[in-house]
Structure 1
Amino acid sequence: MLAEKGELKAQNKNLYVASLVAQLGSFMMGYTLAYTSPAIPDMEDRGVLKTTDQISWFGSLMAIGAIFGGPIAGFFVGNYGRKVAMMMCFLPFVVGYGLISSLDNIATLYFGRILTDVGAGMVSFSTPVYIAELSSLDLRGMLVGVSHPFIGGGMLPVNALGCDDGSLGVLVLWGVCFLSTIFVALCVPETKGKSLEEITKDFNRYNRHL
């Protein structure tokens, strides 16, 4: 009985850690949702966004990017697995914010904004799918719902740090993306086509990283 309890405790620990790692994508989604709030006034002051139309487009392009993010994530989830899909979510964030921080021209800003929102759309699809497959029935609702605090946590640094020159905030996001990729690669198992028992066995192999 004690051995069974100890095994269950270890399994739950692995589950919590893997879920938190997966939710780092939700952190980046929150960052993206809040980004335009401090960024637009800063870009106006420096003459990057010069007209009301430019400001409106930059603020509203999220809807366009998110439309494509879900189907792209669905393609990776179905063909390459949930783990690969989550890792691919980080790529449009890195490239998109890199383009935005360059402040080269208005077309670059627009394209960068679309890419970051593609990443947000990919996260909104792939992360809940992964966590739902990973979790036992009694913990599934709670672990999927943790995405909301992480989204709020992503909104905090962009508003607290601001977007002056785009550098500090972008460095924070790039750091999160890099760590997320490493953690997902090393610390979480694939769930595609596997039962909870098979996933638990995979957890045992990953346990040394947790």
Structure 2
Amino acid sequence: MSLPILLKNWLSTLPTKASPASTDRILWYDQAGNASKAQTKAQLDAQLGYRLACLLTTTAVQSVSATTATAVLFNTETFDVGGLHSTSVNTSRITIPAGGDGLWLFAHTVTFTAAYIEQGSDRQSYIRRNGASAERHAAVRITMPPYTSALPSLTGATIVRAVATDYFEVVVFSERDINLPAAPGGVPNWQTSFSATRLGD
């Protein structure tokens, strides 16, 4: 059995009073008792096989004003491995933790309501980094068709290189006032969502 597996099994037997943060540091010592290496919990998790990742959704309807780029808010975490998101502060953001530098896959789906009112208008969604720049290949756009009972959705994904403290958001833009429903038509599979997965170095 390899050392990482042994260490992982040993760590699982230790009693814990609180979950350590991804930024907590772990010191490694050599045989002489000297500290030889320091790692964050996020780095150790990656070494032991844990994949930093999260999937976010929302249970609230969000209004988007016409011609205003608006970050989508997410108040629910299907899962969050590594503390990438908060449901109480800056809820639009997925933030890269300490030790999380590397390649990341981001994906999003945005579903809109009131399709029949918006015929001929444009809607867009994209992933934004650090409140400023849009990530290439993550932007999608639709021109609303004539009335249809189907709710329109935009889906995009991209792979980027990111470093600790970078944060990413899904941004929507519409030529008309719109709403983003929590679970359109009662179908959760159409729900607006945002996900991130660290792929590696």
TM norm. shorter chain > 0.5: no
| Structure-1-length-normalised TM-score | 0.28
Larger Rg: 2
Q: Which has the higher helix share?
A: 1
TM-score by length of 2: 0.29
